[in-house]
Amino acid sequence: MSLQAFLFYLLAGLTGLCAISVVVTQNIVRAAAWLLFTLAGVAGLLFLLGANFVGATQLFVYVGGTLVLVVFGVMLTAQGPFITMKTGAAEWGISMIVGLLLYGVLSVALLTKPMKFTSEESTQGEELRRTTVLGEALMSVDGATQKAEVTGVPAEKRKELPNKGERSTVGYLLPFEIVSIHLLVVLIGAAYLARTKRRPAGRAGGVNPPVV
Amino acid sequence: MLDFASKPGLLFVVATLLPLASFVLILVAFAIRTALRSSPEGSIGQQLYQASGGDVPSRWPAWLATAAIGLAFVCSATGFVWFLDDHKQIESLEEEARHGKASDRELAHEKLKELEAHWVGSIDWVRLGASDDPRQGLALQLGFRIDHLSAIMFLMVTLVATLIHLFSLGYMAEEKQLHVEDHQVHGEEGHYRRRGRFGRFFLFLSLFCFSMLNLVLADNLFQVFVSWELVGICSYLLIGFYFERSSASNAANKAFITNRIGDAGFVIGLMIVWTYFGTFNFQELFSRVRAPVQDSHGEKLDLAAQIVRGNVTGEGKGKKIIFDPQGPEVLLFPRQRGHFHAEWITPGGDQDVRDDPKERQFGHMPYWLLVAAGLGIFLGCVGKSAQFPLHVWLPDAMEGPTPVSALIHAATMVAAGVYLVGRCFPLFTAEVLLVIAYTGGITLFVAATIAVVMRDIKRVLAYSTVSQLGYMMLALGVGGWVAGLFHLLTHAFFKALLFLGSGAVIYGCHHEQDLLKMGGLYPKMKITALTMLMAVLAISGIPGFSGWYSKDVIVAQAMGFASVHPEHVLLFLLPLVTAGLTTFYMFRMWLLAFAGEPRDHHVYEHAHEAPGIMTGPLVVLAVFSVGVAWGWPFFSSAFPFIDSESSWLEHQLHHAQPDAVQASFGLNKAEWEAARDGRLSGQYFGKPPIGPELAELEKQKKERYWAEEYSHLAGNLALGVVIIGLVFAFALYYYRVLDPAEGEAQFPGIARFLTHKWYFDELYSALIVQPALLVSDWCKNIDTRCIDWLIDNSAAITVRVAEKDGRFDNRVIDGMVNLFATVAYGVGNWFRRWQTGYLRSYVLFLVLAAVGIFVILSYFINATG
Amino acid sequence: MPEAIGLNHYLLLGAILFVCGAVCMATKRNAIGVLMGVELVLNGATVNFVAFAHFNPAFAVEGQVFALFVIVMAAAEAAIALAIVLNFYNNHLTVDVDTAEELKG
C-alpha cells in the first residue's frame, strides 16, 4: 500500500464517517462540529488530488467562512428545544432506505461502466504549474488551457468548423467576474434579509402582550 | 303656391282641405290634452290641463269645425261662380273653333286648352315601376277634375254640411256638460253617466266632410275608393257615437260589415280596371272604353261613344278584332288618341289589336270582365247607397245622433253610391245598367212599403231615404243620368230638412221618437212643423217644389224606357206606384206628428220649439227644398210651376252628362219613333242602330231626348198617383175616415210582413248569420276536439319523451361527466397528499426521482447498446 | 490492495457525501441541519469535480475552476440560507422546517 493509498483511505474514511455522523447526530451543535471535520477531510482529499489551490480555498472559504456562518446560525437559533429535534423512526427508516437506494444506484453505475482516463504521473512541478495555469485560466491568459478536440461532431465534418474543430483557448475571466458580482449581491441580500425588522406591536414575538 | 288665377280649381281643393285641417287641429289638441290629463297631480301638465278647461268638454272644436265647413262653402261658391263664367267662355270658344275663321281657330284652341286646364290637376301619390316604363300611367294619383256635376255636388255638400253643423251646435248641446246621463243605458246605479263628447262629435264630422268632399273632388277611382272607405269609417264612428248602447254599437258594426260586402265588389272592380287599363283616371278610362265621338277631321263616328265589341282572331302582331255587336271581346282604344280616322271604327270593320298595347295601339279585353268590373263597382255603390239587398244597415244606422243621420245617412254619404254610378257611367255595359235599374226598382218599392208601417219617426225617414236612393239608381239604370243626379241634389236638401226637422221634434219631445206618442205638436213647434211640411211636399212631388222637378224626370225616363222595352215595364210601374206610396207615408208621418189631438200628454206638455240655432238651418233648408230646382231667373220659363223642364239645375247637369249616356239611350225623337215601329235593327239599348237607317236618321237634327216625349204624360200620371196617396193619407190620419188599426187588423199578414221589414233581417240571419255561426261552431268543435286533441296528445307524448330523455340525460350523460369529474378530483386529491408542504419530504421525492431517472436511463442505455 | 487509488474511489466517496447530504436534508428538522445537508451535497460535488480534473488531463483546469465556483456558490448559498433561517425564526419563533408547511396542497 502506497502512501497515497493510505492517505486516501485515511482521509476518505474520516470524511465518510464524519459525514455519516452529521446525519446521525441529533444535536445540532454536534452536527456542526462533525461538519467541520467533514469539510476539513474533503480539503485534505483535494490536496491529495493535487488541487492545492482548490483545497486551500476549501479551507479558507468553507471551513473558515461558511462554517462560521453556520455556527453563527446555530448559536443564534439554538435555544432549548431546538438543539435536539427528534425525527420519527419511520422517517428515519424511509430516509435511510431512499439514501441507500441512491447510493446503490450511484455505485452500481460507477462500477459497471468505469470511466477510463489516462492517469497522469503527478509530480510536484506539474502541480505547481497547475496552480499557475489555474490562475492564468481565471485571468484568461492565452494558452493557459489545453486545446482539446471538439466532441460530438463526426470527424469528416469537423474540418468545416471554425478553427478546424480545435478548441480555442478558454478563459474564465467573465465567469469569475460574474461569480464575484454574484457573491456581492448575495452578501447584500443576506444582510438585507437578516436585518431585524420592526414589526407591528401586536405581533411582537408572536405573543400577545400580557393582560394586566 | 295657391295661384287661383291660373288654377281656380284649387278653390275646391282648399274647400276640401279645410275640414281636414280642422280635423287634424282638433285631433292634435285632443292628443295633447289626453297626454296632459295623465300627468301627475300638481305638475305643470296637470295645471295646463286644468287651465285649458279641464274635464269640461270644450266648445272650440265645434266652432272650428263649423268655421272650416262654412269657409269651404264660401270657397266652393266662389269656385262655382268662376266655373260657370269659364264655362260660358269655353262654349263660345268651342263655337269659334268649330265655325270660325282658320286664323281664329288656332287661337281659340289654345285659349280653350288654357281654360280647361283651370279645372283639372293631379299629382302622383304612389308611383309604381320606373318612369321609363312604357306604361307611364302606372301611378296612383291624387287629383281633381271639376265639372258641373262635381261643382254642384260641392255646393250642395258644403251648404248642407254647414247648416247641419250649425244645427248640431244646438242639438248636441247636452254633450257640453261635464256629465251626461244616457237614459238608454242602465248601469249598476241607475243611468249610465259619462263625460260629454261635444268635441269628438265635431271631430268626426270634420273628418267626414273632408272625406266626402274628397270623394266628389276625385278625378280617379282610387281616390274615390280611399274617400269611400274614409266616409265609411266616419259613418261607423258616428253611428256608434253612443257606443255604450248595445243597439248603437251593433248598428255600427252592421253598417260597417254590410258595407264591407259592397266594398269587396268595389275592390274586384278596381282590380279588373287596373289590370286592363293601368289607370284609375276617369277620363282615361272612359276614353279607352268608349269610342270617340268624332275623329280628327270632325267627322262623327257611327259608333260614337259606344263600347265596341268584336271577335278577336290571329296571334301576336297579326291579331285583329272583327267588329260584332255580340262579340265576346271589347276593343280598347289607344291611350294617346293622336290622329284618328272615322273609317277605323266602322260597323262590320276590323282593327289591329295588341295584347300589350303601346301608346297608340288598340287593345282588347274580355267583355264579361268589363261586365264584372261594372257589377263590382256597382256592388260597392249598392252597399254605400243601401240598395237592395244590402239596404238593411241604413235603418239601423239611425241609432246615431240625428244630425249625423241627416248629413251622412240621408244627404251626402249614401248619395255617394249614386254619384259614383253616375261618374262611372261610361264603364257600365248594357247588362250592368239593367241590373242597376232593377236593383233601384226593387229597392224603391220595398223600402216605401216598409216606411208605411214604421212607427219610429227616424225609421220612416230612413226607409224613405232608401226608397229615394232607389229612385236615383233606377233613373241611372234606365238612362236618366241627369234625372238621377238631379234627384240626388234635390233629395239632399229636403231629406236633410226632414231629418233635421225630426231632430228638432225629438229634441223638443225629449228623445221621444215614437210617432204614435206624438200628435198635435203643430202649435208647440210651428217653425219645425212648417219647414217639415215644405220638405214633405217636396218629397211627395207636389208641383212647384223641388222634388217634383226631379221625380217627374225620373218617371218620364222610366216610362220612355218601358215604351221601347215593353218587357221591362215593371221599371216604370214600380216608381209610379211608389210615388203614391211616398206621398202617403210622408203625410202619414207629418200628420201623426203635428196634426190631430195629442196622444201622449206627457210628451205634449213638455214639448217645446227648438232654439234659433236649430230652427235657422231648418228655414234655410226649407227655402232650398222648395226652390232649388226652379228656373233661373225664375220667370225665364213661361210657366215656372208646371214646366218641369225649366229647371236651371237640371240644365246645368246636362253639361256634365257623359256622351255615353246619349250613345246608350240618346235616340232623338225620330230614332225613337223608328225604334218603336221596329224600323231600326237595334232593338236593345247599348246595341245602337247600325246600318243605312242610322245614316238617314243622323241627318235629322237632334232636338230632345226621347224620354221627353213622355214627360207630360208621365208627369200627369205621377201627379195623379200622388194625389191618391195624399187622399189616403188624409183620410186615414187626419179625418180618420178609416182607422189605420182596423186596416192592419184586416190584413194581418201584410201588416206583419211589412212591420218585420219584409223579414230581411230574419232572412239574412237564417241564410248567412246562422250558417256562419253554425260553421264557426263546427270549426270550434273541430278545433277543440280534433286539433286540440292532437296538440294535447302530442304535448303529452313530448312530455313523456322528454321525461325519458331527461332521465337519460341525468343518469347517463351527467353520470359520465360526473364520473370524469370525480376521477379527476380523486386523482387530484390523491396527488394532493404528496404535496405535503414539508421541505424534507420534497428532498426525499427529489432523491427518489433521481434514482428513478437513473434506473430508466440505464435501462435504455443497456437496451441500445 | 489490488489496484491503485483511481477515479472510482473518489467518486464513491463523493457519492457517500452526496447521499449523506441528501439523507441529512431529509431527516433534519432543524433548518440549520438542512443547510448542513446542502453543504455535504455540495462537497460531494466538489470532490467529484476535482477528481475528474485530476484523472482527465483534458479537464485539468476546468474541473478545478468549477470546484472553485461551487465553493463560492456554497458560501453565497450559506449566507442567503442563514438569512432565510433567521427570518424564518423571526416569523415562526422556531427553526423547525416542519412548521413551514404553507406549500401543503
Does residue A13 sit within a domain? Answer: yes
Round to whole Å and give the CA distance between B632 and B318.
57
Does residue A64 sit within a domain? Answer: yes
Q: Under a CB-based contact definition with an 8 Å cutoff, are residues B180 and B193 in contact? A: yes
- For B38-80, what is each residue's pLDDT tens digit? 888 778 888 888 877 777 778 888 899 999 999 999 999 999 9
Q: What is the ipTM score, two decimals?
A: 0.88
- For B753-802, what is each residue's pLDDT tens digit? 877 777 888 888 888 888 889 999 999 999 888 988 999 999 999 999 99
C54 to chain B nearest CA, in Å?
A: 25
Beta bridge partners of B416: none
User: Is 50 exceeded by the pLDDT of residue B831?
Assistant: yes
Does residue A202 sit within a domain? Answer: no
Interface residue C104 vs chain A (CB under 8 A):
no
Please report all neighbours of A, defined by 3+ CB atom pairs within 8 A: B, C
For residue B850, which residues of chain A lie inside 8 Å, CB to CB? 102
More confident residue, A191 or B153: B153
Q: Which of residues 55-74 of C touch A (CB under 8 A)?
A: 55-58, 60-65, 67-69, 71-74
Cell numbers found for residue B568? 221591362
User: Is 50 exceeded by the pLDDT of residue B705?
Assistant: no
Does residue C98 sit within a domain? Answer: yes
Number of domains in chain C: 1
Q: Do B838 and C105 touch (CB under 8 A)?
A: no
Compute CA B243 distance to the chain's CA centroid, rounded to the nearest angstrom: 22
Q: Please report which helix (H) or strand (E) contains residue B319, including its range.
A: none
Q: Please report which helix (H) or strand (E) contains residue A87, including its range.
A: none
Average pLDDT score over residue span B230-258: 90
Based on the domain organization, do A75 and A1 belong to the same domain?
A: yes
Does residue A155 sit within a domain? Answer: no
Does residue C1 sit within a domain? Answer: no
Average pLDDT score over residue span B389-406: 88
For residue A184, which residues of chain C lie inside 8 Å, CB to CB? none
Write the CATH number for C61. Answer: 1.10.287.3510
Phi, psi of B733 (to 5 degrees): -115, -5
Number of domains in chain A: 2
User: Is 60 exceeded by the pLDDT of residue A119?
Assistant: no
Based on the domain organization, do A74 and A130 belong to the same domain?
A: no
Does residue A39 sit within a domain? Answer: yes
Does residue C46 sit within a domain? Answer: yes
Predicted TM-score (pTM) above 0.80: no
DSSP string computed for A32-77: HHHHHHHHHHHHHHHHHTT-HHHHHHIIIIIIIIIHHHHHHHHHHH
Report the residue from B844, B854, B858 with minimal CB separation from A94. Answer: B844
Q: Show the DSSP H helices in B668-781 as ranges.
A: 669-676, 692-698, 711-733, 740-746, 748-755, 760-764, 770-781
Interface residue C28 vs chain A (CB under 8 A):
yes
For residue B847, which residues of chain A lie inside 8 Å, CB to CB? 98-99, 102
pLDDT at B667: 54
> Rounded mean pLDDT of chain B?
83
Does residue C48 sit within a domain? Answer: yes
For residue C103, which residues of chain B lie inside 8 Å, CB to CB? 835, 837
Contacts of B361 by beta carbon, 8 Å cutoff, 6+ apart = B334, B352, B353, B354
Distances (CA, A) of C84 to A189, B57, B858, C21: 10, 94, 38, 19
Round to whole Å and give the CA distance between A163 and B366.
110
Q: Do A102 and B850 touch (CB under 8 A)?
A: yes
Does residue A118 sit within a domain? Answer: no
pLDDT at C44: 92
Interface residue C27 vs chain B (CB under 8 A):
yes
- For B116-126, what is each residue's pLDDT tens digit? 888 888 887 87
Q: Do C86 and A73 touch (CB under 8 A)?
A: yes
Domain range enclosing C44: 7-103
Please report all neighbours of C, defined by 3+ CB atom pairs within 8 A: A, B
- For C56-99, what is each residue's pLDDT tens digit? 776 777 788 888 888 888 888 888 888 888 888 888 888 888 88
Does residue A132 sit within a domain? Answer: yes
- Interface residues from chain B to A (CB-CB < 8 Å): 840, 844, 847-848, 850-851, 854-855, 858
Based on the domain organization, do A1 and A68 belong to the same domain?
A: yes
Domain's final residue, options A57, A79, A101: A79
Report the residue from C1, C74, C89 with minimal CB separation from A66. Answer: C74
Q: Under a CB-based contact definition with an 8 Å cutoff, are residues B294 and B302 in contact? A: no
Write the CATH number for A4. Answer: 1.20.120.1200
Domain range enclosing A134: 126-150+161-196
B846 to chain C nearest CA, in Å?
A: 9
Does residue C97 sit within a domain? Answer: yes
More confident residue, B181 or A163: B181
Q: Do C31 and A46 touch (CB under 8 A)?
A: no
